[in-house]
Structure 1
Amino acid sequence: MSFAISDELLGTFVPIVVYWVYSGIYVALGSLEKYRLHSKKDEDEKNLVSKANVVKGVLLQQTVQAIVAMVLFTITGDDSGAATAHVPSLLVLARQFLVGMLVLDTWQYFMHRYMHHNKFLYKHIHSQHHRLVVPYAFGALYNHPLEGLILDTIGGALSFLFSGMTPRTSILFFTFATIKTVDDHCGLWLPGNVFHVIFGNNTAYHDVHHQLYGSKYNFSQPFFVMWDRIFGTYMPYSLEKRAGGGFEARPAKESKDD
């Protein structure tokens, strides 16, 4: 007797599994001090939340994420099963990916920026994510539950709806988005990292945002930097050798406050 797992179920849980597997790889590589953007000592001393609490926070967000995904798939599903069985062409798939990326980036830029500029929202909600002064991989989704719902879960739902992707396509898209988000927070500048080559919005770019001097810049996530450039919140970085080994992302030049 064969047992088939639905695309909806895979679309809900594959990105969650990938999150922990991929971040686990970076945890294992964290001992490579010569590739770190911050020392291991800084990670342990500067962060304002324990790793146990980070894990709990991420698991809570992923629980909410899974519930919303299942509800969304149920509402948009086709009882005939046609939507699940349909395989889009590569051109359609590329278009859906691009639309999904643009929608997600647009939503997250403006929501993220507003949470920094609204003092109440920053103090009571977004500051939780910035307890990680030194980002690391499995802390990528460590947020206040309300922020996780607004930025990530609703942002993901909007990208799914506006792009017209099927549950099967969503498996690929949200797995890719998850890997990219984890990579942006991994704290490592590894040689040959394809994300660092393709995307200007990468590990060092987002690390600048987590530092005090960059807290009003580099809001864009997780793919492009266009909104930062358009609205004057773009802070370019330069990588410099850090005392004791590794790299440090520093502002490449003075940026004008918006």
Structure 2
Amino acid sequence: MKTCFMALHIVYYEYFNIPYDWERMPRWYLLLARCFGCAVIEDTRRYFPHRLFHHERIYKYIHKVHHEFQPPFGMEAEYEHPLETLILGTGFFIGIMLLCDHVILLWAWVTIRLIETIDVHSGYDIPLNPLNLIPFCAGSRHHDFHHMNFIRNYASTFTWWDRIFGTDSQFIAYKEKMKKIEKKTE
């Protein structure tokens, strides 16, 4: 069985001309740069349809399935309408199609994307989370606000599209309000 599984992988890699040998594996910094590129592509490709899915005429038919759970939890991240999976999921593959030069990128991107997706749906803002070191990374607080209000904060990974289009204004006001309350309780 293991031999058959390995043979299928090799056929897949060769069909799509994806190198899998050790000699052509990219350096770690190139791998990280390509994963970042995949994240930017996925985030951009996801923001606009996700925002559209919240339109009052569409929301109840497609995206409401994803919002059945409030607050969100890690495994709920992948709980969505099949049409939403098809439409929003294409962004994940576009980066791979454009940037994949070795199978290690495919594995790294899948791992990073799953960790990030589960993290933002975890309901926990872990202070020492390495994802918090990434500039403009949305994080769980950003996405929890989205699930709390069902509007605004449409970003998947980064906050720049929300910032550019002002769809994070309520979240920013909420954060400022929480800071004032924390200062009063000190």
Q: TM-score range by the shorter chain?
A: 0.7 to 0.9
Deviation, 1:6, is: 4.4
Match of 2:57, SS?
A: helix
Distance across 1 between alignment mates of 2:105 and 2:66: 29
Counting only pairs closer than 5 Å after superposition, residues 1-258 of structure 1 correspond to structure 2 as 6=6, 9=9, 73=12, 77-78=16-17, 83-85=19-21, 86-117=24-55, 119-152=56-89, 154-198=90-134, 200-212=137-149, 215-221=150-156, 223-235=157-169, 237=171, 251-253=174-176
Distance across 2 between alignment mates of 1:7 and 1:251: 53
Distance across 1 between alignment mates of 2:61 and 2:128: 39
Match of 2:60, SS?
A: helix
Q: 1:192 to 1:235 in 2, by over 3 A?
A: same
Distance across 2 between alignment mates of 1:92 and 1:169: 10
Deviation, 1:191, is: 4.0
Deviations 1:162-210 (A, max 9, x none): 2234322110111111001001001123342223444641111100001
1:131 aligned partner, one-letter code: E
Deviations 1:81-107 (A, max 9, x none): x71212012343233112111100001
Match of 1:233, SS?
A: coil
Determine if contact 1:7/1:84 at 8 Å carries over to the other structure.
Answer: no
Between 1:132-141 and 1:197-206, the stretch displaced more is 197-206
**Unmatched runs of 5 consecutive residues or more in structure 2:** 178-186
Structure scoring higher RCO (CA < 8 A, sep ≥ 6) equals 1
Corresponding residue pairs, total: 173
TM-score for the superposition, normalised by structure 1: 0.59
RMSD: 3.0
Distance across 2 between alignment mates of 1:4 and 1:106: 37
2:39 aligned partner, one-letter code: M
Q: 1:236 to 1:224 in 2, by over 3 A?
A: farther
Identity %: 29
Distance across 1 between alignment mates of 2:169 and 2:44: 18
Distance across 2 between alignment mates of 1:180 and 1:190: 13
**Unmatched runs of 5 consecutive residues or more in structure 1:** 11-69, 239-249
Distance across 1 between alignment mates of 2:14 and 2:154: 32
Match of 2:166, SS?
A: coil
- The list of structure 1 runs, each at least 4 consecutive aligned residues, that deviate by more than 3 angstroms after superposition, is 2-10, 73-76, 196-200, 235-238
Determine if contact 2:132/2:139 at 8 Å carries over to the other structure.
Answer: yes
